[in-house]
Amino acid sequence: DIIKKAFMEGKMLRPGQELSPTETEEIGLLYETVINFVEEEKKEEELDNELVDYWNKVYEEQKDSLKTRPPVVTVMGHVDHGKTTLLDNIRNTKVAEGEEGGITQSIGAYQLEYNDKKITFIDTPGHEAFTEMRARGAQATDIVVLIIAADDGVMPQTIEAYNHAKDAKVPVIVAINKIDKPNANVELTKQQMVAKLNLIPEDWGGDTITVPISAISKEGIDELLEMISLVSEMEEIKCKPNGQARAVIIESKLDKFLGPVATVIVKDGILKTGDYFIAGSTYGKVRRMIDDQGRTIKKALPSTPVQVLGFNEVADTHSILYVTNSLNQAREISGKKKEKEDLANQNINKKHVKLEDFMKM
Ligand code: GTP
Ligand code: MG
């Protein structure tokens, strides 16, 4: 009935489609029901803005003392195009071999040194089911390395991944992988870059840095790292080097033994054990931090990926973690957010409503 009604109003919907707050309100109106989602979203934004304002002010005041931080580089691309293998070979590890069915199902974050400079890498899954993780990866990063296998070319998730990078306004370096394979076709892959992504490789007169590599034989990997360093120098990736931290949450889960944990990348300041924080409507105290090699650390500097223990519940993966002055402050801010959320939930159970949910109302 909703699909029909919306269609009569010139709006195409399909079963199972997620609706934005605005769309939900529009459909509500077709049934003469007022749903105040957009208002609620705005209120939530206002709260976030308090924190954003605070940080903008900090940046304004500390403009001269901002320091360069290591780049955060997210590796993205279609399933099996060689993202994990590339990172394995850069880090001399073997993550890819231990993965279920050879498919990455979570976001991994690692830091390494290249020519005495640190680079933080985020690995993302290429399987089509993990759109949300790819979007998150693109949002949290300074540079995207888009991997395209030379024996497979530009595929659906190559295009999707590129669109996330574009949305996030992040510079993209293309790595054409698997050039060691006999059926690798670099020229054809470049043609597809132009035709399907509108990206023109530098050696074709465009401005997209394109590096042919083999994650297995390691050919081209040095050049790729060189290009990453170059782009990060041009991007002037800055941070507030000291003081209270701000970090982006790239993954969170409930661990059977550790409780709610989140993988975060520190963007500003220094995150310390014992710090109080909020993240979305969750809060906590940093009980323990574990680095990418499983070691417990007491301090995490900007661009360091680290697992944080001590959340009151599983954190929202969209959220930013802000260190607060006290537990009370953390509770208060998260409490305010929770109230807003509960209010919205009284209207409906979920923010993004599926058509089925509508039927039940
Ligand atoms: P998802 O995380 O599931 O999206 O896959 P992925 O992009 O991480 O691919 P992964 O690194 O797991 O590699 C997939 C397969 O391609 C593995 O069997 C790798 O050994 C192989 N592979 C990756 N890079 C190369 C390469 O440069 N040359 C050759 N010959 N094989 C490669
Ligand atoms: Mg992988």
Who lines ligand 1 at CB under 6 A?
Answer: 77, 79-85, 96, 102-104, 125-127, 177-178, 180-181, 214-216
- Whole-number Å distance, alpha carbon 260 to ligand 2 midpoint, is 24
Burial of 347 (0-12, 13-18, 19+ CB in 10 A): middle
Do the beta carbons of residue 320 and residue 273 sit within 8 Å?
A: no
Task: Return the ligand 1 atom nearest residue 104 CA.
Answer: 2
- How many CB atoms sit inside 10 A of residue 83's CB? 30
Counting ligands in written order, the one closest to the CA of 180 is 1
Structure-token match 């083999």, residue found: 214
- Whole-number Å distance, alpha carbon 74 to ligand 2 midpoint, is 12
- Whole-number Å distance, alpha carbon 108 to ligand 2 midpoint, is 9
Rg (CA), the chain: 22
Do the beta carbons of residue 62 and residue 243 sit within 8 Å?
A: no
Q: List b or e across 209-230, with b for residues whose CB sees 16 or more CB atoms inside 10 angstroms.
A: bbbbbbbbeeebbeebbebbee
- How many CB atoms sit inside 10 A of residue 335's CB? 14
Burial of 200 (0-12, 13-18, 19+ CB in 10 A): middle
At 283, phi and psi to the nearest 5? -150, 180
Query: pLDDT of 229-255, one tens digit each?
Result: 999 999 989 999 999 999 999 999 999
pLDDT (tens place) for every residue of the chain, 361 residues total: 888 888 888 888 888 888 887 788 788 888 776 666 666 555 555 556 677 777 788 878 888 889 999 999 999 999 999 999 999 999 887 778 788 888 888 788 999 988 889 999 999 999 988 888 898 888 889 999 999 999 999 999 999 999 999 999 999 999 999 999 999 999 999 999 999 999 999 999 999 999 999 999 999 999 999 999 999 999 989 999 999 999 999 999 999 988 999 999 999 999 999 999 999 889 999 999 999 989 999 999 999 999 999 999 999 887 899 998 888 878 887 777 777 777 766 655 444 555 555 554 4
Burial of 321 (0-12, 13-18, 19+ CB in 10 A): buried
Counting ligands in written order, the one closest to the CA of 93 is 1
352 annotated as a binding-site residue: no
pLDDT, position 351:
47
Query: pLDDT of 88-119, one tens digit each?
Result: 999 887 778 788 888 888 788 999 988 889 99
pLDDT, position 36:
64
| Structural tokens at position 313 | 């519940």
CA 260 to CA 84: how far, in whole Å?
26
